[in-house]
Structure 1
Amino acid sequence: MKSRLVHVLATLLSGALTLGALQAQASSDDKAIVTAAAEALGGLDRVRSVKNITLSGYGQYAYMFGGGNISGSPEAPQKYQAANDLKRVYDLEHGRFQQLERRNFLFPFAAIFGHAYAQSNLVLDGDIGYETGREGQFVRSRKWIESPLHIDGVHMRRMWMLNNPVALVRAALDPANQLSAPRKEGDLTVLDLTLKQGDKLSFAIDNRSKLPTWVRWKNPHSNLGQVTLTTHLSGYAPYGGLKMPLGYVTRIDWRNVDYFKMYVDDYVVDTQIADLAAPEALRSASDADPVVTSEATQVAPGVWRLTPYGNTVFEFADHLAIYELGGSHAAAKAAIDKARTLVPGKPLTEYIPSHHHFDHTAGFRVGIAEGLTVVSRYGNEGIFREMAERRAPDYPDALEKNRKPFKFRGFDDHLRMSDSKATVDLYWARANTHMADAVFAYVPASKVFVEGDMATAAKDYQFWGDNYMDTVEHYKLDVETLSTVHMGIMKPAEVIEMVKGGVQRARERCAAELAKGNYFPGCPIVSNRY
């Protein structure tokens, strides 16, 4: 018995020593790989001694991650947002990072801000994110920023900072961060890195050049549950004793969309930079999401408009239906909860999106999680199914926590939803250059027209100004009231006057741009009415 016990203990000790040796070997291997990468970037001492790097260049974002195109088809041409006057400041000495750029849509957009080259100034100081607000003052950024245009927040800014290979390798060399054992993927060596703050990412080193070739991480996404982003680094060139890439392409794992492309004009190393420390007043400010509440206004019998996003609810004999779930997950949940209080005992069972664009479907996954049946044109079914079936295991949202099947009721030009209490007609918006498969609703009994982005995308410009009246006349509708997503409850005369002014302002913008030699997207304005 004693000899057997000794044998067992010896075996366990041997196994522990072997495991320890393997772990030590893995640790030695990963450090050697990262050290070789530092040498390839300019030398271990040089990489460790760098205080700051400033990148200058320009870039383009895929508008709404590919979810804002003319249709939901994977073959629809991609719309882009320019990012000019672009700078990235990597303050490695203090662990800070700044994203500076001026954004402008490269397609016709109804609001002036989309064509204003407005500056975006996003900063990370340790665990504190802050930015320049609308009034020019600094404001504390939320920890996770939910937006159909750009995912942002502390995690994203930290990942963008580590897209720079020098910042990345320095982080990998930091003993406070944890490296995985290396693994081979073709001609690359891949390592996982867990930062001391808890952020996780992976990166690949080219086996020949020893240079970083890609960086990969995950982030929550309102419409897609979560996304995996991979930034590919290319065109290494020497700057300030370091090698850094001239090209960055960040691709997401949905339709292989190139979400962000950054082109480098210059790097400067260890120069005087601005103090990026977060203002003291912001350090104690909240970074929590604001609480969203919804209020209802009756538009007509059995029809209500909800704020803040502009949903419209229809009452039928035994159920309710809601038009639009946009804005955010929080706004959608607030709207659904409010809708369920309007007629006690009647369940909310149907959801009618105006169109597929990610701002208008930011609450889509909440609707699916609540068991709602989606009612839309067949042209939207594919993208809606993709959105409903994506998983979010690392950042579970409402749908990941409460998986429900995707239920779809489709039509082409017209669908009548009718019972003993109400009739609501759904129509295709036809010939709208902003959204090919848009759907609007019409209530014959009260002559209420419900729309999103047909006439009321914004007050500033009207690039598809004829669409509303063309559609009304085509379907021979008698409209007395409009319940709009973006502009409240309106009368037809108000809408027509607004559209007329928007067409005129768009023509003036076209003329002003042409006078400067700029051939502006959407110009000349095509309108047979205004």
Structure 2
Amino acid sequence: MRRRPRCLIAFSVLFTVACGGAATPELQLIEDVAEAMGGLRSVSQTAALTVEGQGRTFRLGQNTRPRADLPYYQVENYLLQVDYANQRWRLGQDRTTTFLTGGGQLYGARQTYGLDGDVAYDEQGDGAVRASEKVAADRWAEMYHNPLGIVLLGLDETSTVSNLREGGAERVVDIVAANGTQFTLHVSGDTGLPSKVTSSSYHPNLGDVTIETLFDGYQEMGGLGGFQARLTLPRNYTTNLDRFTISRYSTTADTNADVGDLSAPPDVRAVPPPMATVTVDVEEVTDGVWRLAGQSHHSALLEFEDFLVLVEAPQSEARTLAVIESARELRPDKSLRYVINTHHHFDHSAGIRAAVSEGLTIVTHRTNRSFYEDMVARRHSIVQDALTRNAQPLTLEAVSSEEPFEITDGTRTLQIVTVVDDLHSDGMLMAYLPRERILFEVDAFSPSAAASPFAETLLRNIEDRGLRVETIVPLHGAIATLEDLESAVEQEAQAP
């Protein structure tokens, strides 16, 4: 979206006021909010924002149960710099895990990423890489999820401000940017200041979602007074994606600091945004058993007398559909009947809707039932996914923690069992072929990982259940043996 320079916005607003032009009720609300924040002139002439602080960011879709609290990173040295005149921003923050991951030890890392118009980028090491168009669109919207940004957008003559209404003790108005992105601004009836901003986005697992940022703890911030604007801005920002809190920050802001040049690196701007690609590498494990590998997340295919079973529909709709296509190419004369879902984490359930669209029965732990019922029923109108295009009912078989779930044709039997006391995910499933002595598992033992904090739990479950495992097919990493697992457990025990 092209934006006028701040000076032109300020001139336009002041000219309207000076000449006695009648503002619409919607625009009048925006101007009143600007006055409450420190003055219409000061707000309209502000072109940049620097926000510093600390807080938490949360890992969406990585909780131990579908409706449990999300694990989070502790954030320090948060620095957000925004150049509204050029539609650019950059965020840097130090994130430290507070939860155990497959990599073992808790760790911290500096994270830096930004936006330059329609170019989103992530800094990595000494360079930067371009992010997808979807990421760029989300980051563009994020630029206006603060009081200063949304008021500047409302004052922009290329925006449409409409639908003024009452929402309880608040006044509510819609703001549509020139690029079509719609925001809803809520204004406190007590203070006249923004209480929250909402916009819509798309999530592959959840479909159409509402992004909501709430503001509180307003105080005067900015320059030193005089010719330097001091605006009333919030200290606290909380962002929710539907019912999930995804970030919470406590901050201070400055509207007079020099943000410098926030343009994307030239080599990043020169390349097109990345396109998602899928590779499926077929590897035979034994007769009638294949690993469908490629990239970071794998699946497995098992052949029975007159049907096929898929273990895992991970990562994305595109990957799951490609895996399903490969499975049917391997055995075109047999129906693909089941998909075993190991756990609900979003990187392992991203293909559930695609699998349902292809008529597969989902086998998962019973703790996931209501979550998947909701996932399949959710609206996907912003992006029409496979299930939206080919609607099918959900057929789900629930696995209990007490008894294995068996799939058999009389000659081959597959046992699906719960991994007891798994710290990564409650209701984690593994699949076992007793006759072939093959175990399929994920996120407990990944042979290429630097550490294996959950491997001991997996080994204990194998031993407690009396499973006679010889071959392990991890759905991350290479095929391994029971001896490899035992060695990983021993190394983990000896680690400092």
Whether the TM-score (by the shorter chain) exceeds 0.5 is yes
- Is the aligned partner of 1:130 residue 2:121? yes
- Kept in 1: contact 2:78–2:93 (CA 8 A): yes
Distance 1:41 1:293 in 2: 52
Q: Give how far 1:279 is off.
A: 2.2
Find the counterpart in structure 1 of residue 397 from structure 2. Answer: 409
Correspondence for 1:388 among 361, 376, 388: 376
Report the AA paired with residue 461 of structure 2: T
Percent of aligned pairs with the same residue? 27
Stretch of structure 1 that moved more, 371-380 or 241-250: 371-380
Residues 15-55 of structure 1 show CA distances to partners (whole Å, capped at 9, x for unaligned) of: xxxxxxxxxx9971111110111111111111111131111
Find the counterpart in structure 2 of residue 229 from structure 1. Answer: 211
Distance 2:282 2:186 in 1: 52
Find the counterpart in structure 2 of residue 51 from structure 1. Answer: 47
Correspondence for 2:99 among 99, 104, 107: 107
- TM-score normalised by L of structure 1: 0.84
Correspondence for 1:247 among 233, 236, 257: 236
**2:279 aligns to what SS in structure 1?**
coil
- Kept in 1: contact 2:172–2:186 (CA 8 A): yes
Structure 1 gaps of 5+ residues are 1-24, 145-152, 509-530
Distance 1:91 1:503 in 2: 50
Distance 2:239 2:447 in 1: 29
Distance 2:260 2:325 in 1: 46
Correspondence for 1:282 among 268, 285, 289: 268
Matches within 5 A, 1:43-442: 43-64=39-60, 67-72=61-66, 74=67, 76-111=68-103, 115-133=106-124, 135-144=125-134, 153-240=135-222, 241-253=230-242, 256-264=243-251, 266-308=252-294, 309-412=297-400, 413-442=403-432
Distance 1:332 1:325 in 2: 5
Q: Give how far 1:458 is off.
A: 6.8
- Kept in 1: contact 2:448–2:478 (CA 8 A): no
Q: Give how far 1:398 is off.
A: 2.0
Residues 407-453 of structure 1 show CA distances to partners (whole Å, capped at 9, x for unaligned) of: 11123120111004521111111121222211111112221110011
Distance 1:392 1:26 in 2: 41
Distance 1:385 1:441, change over 3 A: same
Report the AA paired with residue 200 of structure 2: K
Distance 1:457 1:435, change over 3 A: farther
Distance 1:402 1:339 in 2: 20
Report the AA paired with residue 118 of structure 1: A
Distance 2:178 2:447 in 1: 44
- Is the aligned partner of 1:495 residue 2:488? no
**2:85 aligns to what SS in structure 1?**
coil
Distance 1:170 1:314, change over 3 A: same
Distance 1:428 1:154 in 2: 40
**2:485 aligns to what SS in structure 1?**
helix
Distance 1:458 1:40, change over 3 A: farther
Shift >4 Å, 4+ stretches: none
Find the counterpart in structure 2 of residue 474 from structure 1. Answer: 464
**1:388 aligns to what SS in structure 2?**
helix
**2:328 aligns to what SS in structure 1?**
helix
Q: Give how far 1:464 is off.
A: 3.2
What is the aligned residue count?
A: 465
**1:379 aligns to what SS in structure 2?**
helix
Distance 1:293 1:284 in 2: 26
Residues 511-530 of structure 1 show CA distances to partners (whole Å, capped at 9, x for unaligned) of: xxxxxxxxxxxxxxxxxxxx
- Kept in 1: contact 2:102–2:444 (CA 8 A): no
**1:403 aligns to what SS in structure 2?**
coil
Report the AA paired with residue 107 of structure 1: F
Stretch of structure 1 that moved more, 114-123 or 295-304: 114-123
Superposition RMSD in Å: 2.0
- Kept in 2: contact 1:189–1:205 (CA 8 A): yes
- Kept in 2: contact 1:460–1:502 (CA 8 A): no
Q: Give how far 1:77 is off.
A: 4.2
**1:359 aligns to what SS in structure 2?**
helix
Correspondence for 2:35 among 36, 39, 44: 39
Distance 1:31 1:171 in 2: 11
Distance 1:179 1:405 in 2: 40
Q: Give how far 1:69 is off.
A: 1.9
Report the AA paired with residue 33 of structure 1: L
Residues 246-265 of structure 1 show CA distances to partners (whole Å, capped at 9, x for unaligned) of: 11111222xx222211111x
Distance 1:55 1:28 in 2: 32
